[in-house]
Amino acid sequence: MTPQAFGQKLRRERDKKRLSLDHVAGKTKVAASLLRSLEAGDCSRWPGGIYSRGYIRAYAEAIGLDPEQTVAMFVECYPVFTPVTDPVPETPAEEGPQTPLEKLKSAVAAVFRVASESRR
């Protein structure tokens, strides 16, 4: 789906409900100019990241569409607004079993840490 086709679909749905763009803007707290540009297929001035997807969710709810499905179509049309995922953190290498001396060092360090915190 192209951005223009997506915008036209949204406008048709809004028109079916007989909702003005100003009414939807007031309900969603999204500027009418941004919604107008969305319906025209031009989101070049839209904010990035989570804001744009939040605006789409609010718009979809205001005109009676499924918000998650609408966001998925939006991201398909505008890949620049695709959520950034964090890379999977590396799992720490398994440490071998602690020797008795290492266990003693950890215990002594914990005692000193607790003692110093209790003095504060």
What pLDDT does residue 28 have?
A: 93
Q: Between 114 and 33, whose confidence is greater? A: 33
Confidence of residue 13 (pLDDT cuts 50, 70, 90): very high
According to CATH, the topology of domain 3-81 is 434 Repressor (Amino-terminal Domain) (1.10.260)
Angstrom distance (rounded) from CA 97 to CA 48? 48
Interval 33-52 mean pLDDT: 88
- Alpha helices by DSSP H, listed for the chain, are 3-16, 21-28, 32-39, 49-63, 67-77, 100-119
Domain regions of the chain by residue span: 3-81
Angstrom distance (rounded) from CA 57 to CA 36? 16
Q: Is 18 left (phi over 0), alpha (psi -120 to 50) or beta?
A: left
Q: Please name which of 7, 3, 6 lies closest in space to residue 80, comparing C-alpha atoms.
A: 3
Q: Mean pLDDT score of the chain, rounded to an integer?
A: 84
Q: What's the sign of the alpha-carbon dihedral 70, 51, 44, 62?
A: positive
Angstrom distance (rounded) from CA 53 to CA 47? 9
What pLDDT does residue 88 have?
A: 59
Residue 118's identity, in one-letter code, is S
pLDDT at 87 over 60: no
Residue 43 CB neighbours (<10 A): 21
What pLDDT does residue 111 have?
A: 82
Tens digit of each residue's pLDDT (9 = 90 or more) over 104-115? 888 888 887 877
pLDDT at 40 over 90: yes
